[in-house]
């Protein structure tokens, strides 16, 4: 009898743990906003603020130095945004080229399924980006 109670107890604890794990996974997939999405500032703005907050006490920056350094970091942010846009374009083109070469290797019915699959994935990615308010890749 004692073994049965122990087995039931272990089973219930395991079931509860599985439920918690499942809830965490589903919650992150449906409601996760990311580390930098806590307010209306962009990632770059938050990163710049973090660097200024780090450098000011560490280096003993004056308000004039902080202003000038923020300007330099703002320029960096603009440069990084441009680089990311270029990289996004190049990656997109590389995927398009690869998808065409893959499609050329497939039989017509396979090719139709392949393009349908890619279209579905693209639509899902677009929906997720709209839900998370992030730009699509």
The answer to the question of residue 2 being in a domain is no
The answer to the question of residue 34 being in a domain is no
The reply to whether 90 and 118 lie within a common domain is: no
Whether the predicted pLDDT of 28 surpasses 90: no
Whether the predicted pLDDT of 8 surpasses 90: no
The reply to whether 116 and 97 lie within a common domain is: no
The pLDDT of residue 27 is: 73
The reply to whether 137 and 124 lie within a common domain is: yes
Q: Which of 118, 125, 89 has the alpha carbon at shortest distance from 102?
A: 118
The answer to the question of residue 91 being in a domain is yes
Q: How far apart, in Å, are the Cα atoms of 86 and each of 82, 92, 121, 130?
A: 6, 10, 22, 22
The pLDDT of residue 5 is: 82
Name the more confident of 81 and 21: 81
The reply to whether 99 and 116 lie within a common domain is: no
The reply to whether 74 and 117 lie within a common domain is: no
The answer to the question of residue 20 being in a domain is no
CA distance 90 to 84: 10
pLDDT in tens, 66-82: 999 999 999 999 999 99
The pLDDT of residue 36 is: 47
Average pLDDT over residues 93-100: 94
The reply to whether 95 and 45 lie within a common domain is: yes
CA distance 95 to 100: 9
Which residue segment(s) compose the domain that 118 sits in?
107-137
Name the more confident of 130 and 32: 130
Q: pTM for this structure?
A: 0.53
The answer to the question of residue 22 being in a domain is no
Name the more confident of 133 and 70: 70
DSSP, collapsed to helix, strand or coil, labels residue 14 as helix
Quote the number of domains for the chain.
2
The answer to the question of residue 28 being in a domain is no
Would you place residue 30 in the very low, low, confident or very high pLDDT band (cuts 50, 70, 90)? low
The answer to the question of residue 3 being in a domain is no
The reply to whether 79 and 135 lie within a common domain is: no
pLDDT in tens, 110-120: 999 999 999 99
The reply to whether 88 and 125 lie within a common domain is: no
The answer to the question of residue 54 being in a domain is yes
């Amino acid at each position: 009898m004692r073994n049965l109670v122990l087995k039931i107890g272990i089973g219930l604890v395991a079931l509860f743990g599985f439920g918690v794990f499942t809830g965490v996974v589903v919650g992150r997939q449906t409601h996760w906003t990311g580390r930098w999405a806590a307010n209306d500032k962009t990632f770059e703005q938050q990163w710049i603020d973090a660097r200024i907050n780090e450098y000011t006490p560490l280096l003993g920056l004056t308000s004039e130095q902080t202003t000038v350094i923020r300007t330099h970091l703002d320029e960096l942010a603009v440069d990084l945004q441009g680089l990311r846009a270029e990289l996004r374009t190049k990656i997109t083109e590389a995927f398009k080229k690869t998808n065409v070469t893959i499609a050329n290797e497939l039989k017509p019915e396979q090719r139709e399924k392949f393009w349908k699959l890619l279209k579905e994935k693209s639509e899902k990615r677009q929906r997720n980006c709209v839900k998370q308010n992030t730009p699509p890749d």
